[in-house]
Amino acid sequence: MVQLTLPKNSRIGKGKRHRAPSGAGRLKLFRIYRYDPEGNENPRWDEYEVKVDECGPMVLDVLIHIKNTMDATLAFRRSCREGVCGSCAMNIGGRNTLACTHGWEEVPGEAVVVAPLPSQPVVKDLIPDLSLFYAQYASIEPWLHTTTPQPQTEWRQAPEDREKLDGLYECILCACCSTSCPSYWWNEERYLGPAALLHAYRWIIDSRDEATGERLDALEDPFKLYRCHTILNCAQVCPKGLNPAKAIAEVKRMLVERTV
């Protein structure tokens, strides 16, 4: 029988219970993942009884309330609070999403469970290390490649060509899609993942770009592109309503058509 040895920090223990004072009014239980890699303790689930009447409607509002009034040691990322920057992406109630646009009342069950994005190393608590994710995005060279001389004013584009970029340029690189993809979990060192491939397609079909062949050559790889098995988790969790799986399928189609 095969015996597997799990990492020492793989077991998540029971953490602290932060209780609300008696007579606090309407309460909601939040179970939050806590872990500090620089310490010696295993990860744990801390529980917070939150007076939700004192918070806004979004999960991020609650996290800020907890940090300001209950536990200043809680760590998480946030910036715009408008669903634009992607900083507060995390797993809420088992689903990757943005804490600033996901209401805590939308989460079913007795407790709202909040964890960092899956499959990524944890910097601390709810903060994932996205170094590899951003490196993969950089690898597709997300800028205009041209050989013709640069115009004095701007690169012109017909309205119908500009419309082809709709559903692609809106990606905010929150990493919700890539970290929800089982193919990415298994092959993240070699598979570029839904977000990077969606952006790759965005530049491939840009009528102003003059490196379509080179971009397709760079993606024609058993792992970079073809680890996608159309599981569609990426399209289900995207907080902007985009469909990375469709973009990946279009890249595969273009590779097939150019060889026929």
User: Is the pTM above the cut of 0.85?
Assistant: yes
Query: Quick one: pLDDT at residue 4?
Result: 64
Q: What is the pLDDT of residue 2?
A: 63
- Domain ranges for the chain: 13-128, 131-144+155-259
In this prediction, residue 80 carries a pLDDT of 95
pLDDT at 77: 97
Residues of the chain with pLDDT under 70: 1-4, 6, 260
What is the fold of 131-144+155-259?
Fumarate Reductase Iron-sulfur Protein; Chain B, domain 2 (1.10.1060)
Supply the pLDDT for residue 260. 64
For residue 190, the Cα-to-chain-centroid distance in whole angstroms is: 18
Per the DSSP assignment, residues forming a β-bridge with 13 are 44
CA distance 162 to 121: 37
Place of tokens 């004072």: 21
Q: What's the pLDDT score for residue 1?
A: 59
Position 20 scores a pLDDT of 85
- Given this model, what pLDDT does residue 34 score? 97
What's the gap between Cα 160 and its chain centre? 30
Query: 13-128 — its CATH code?
Result: 3.10.20.30
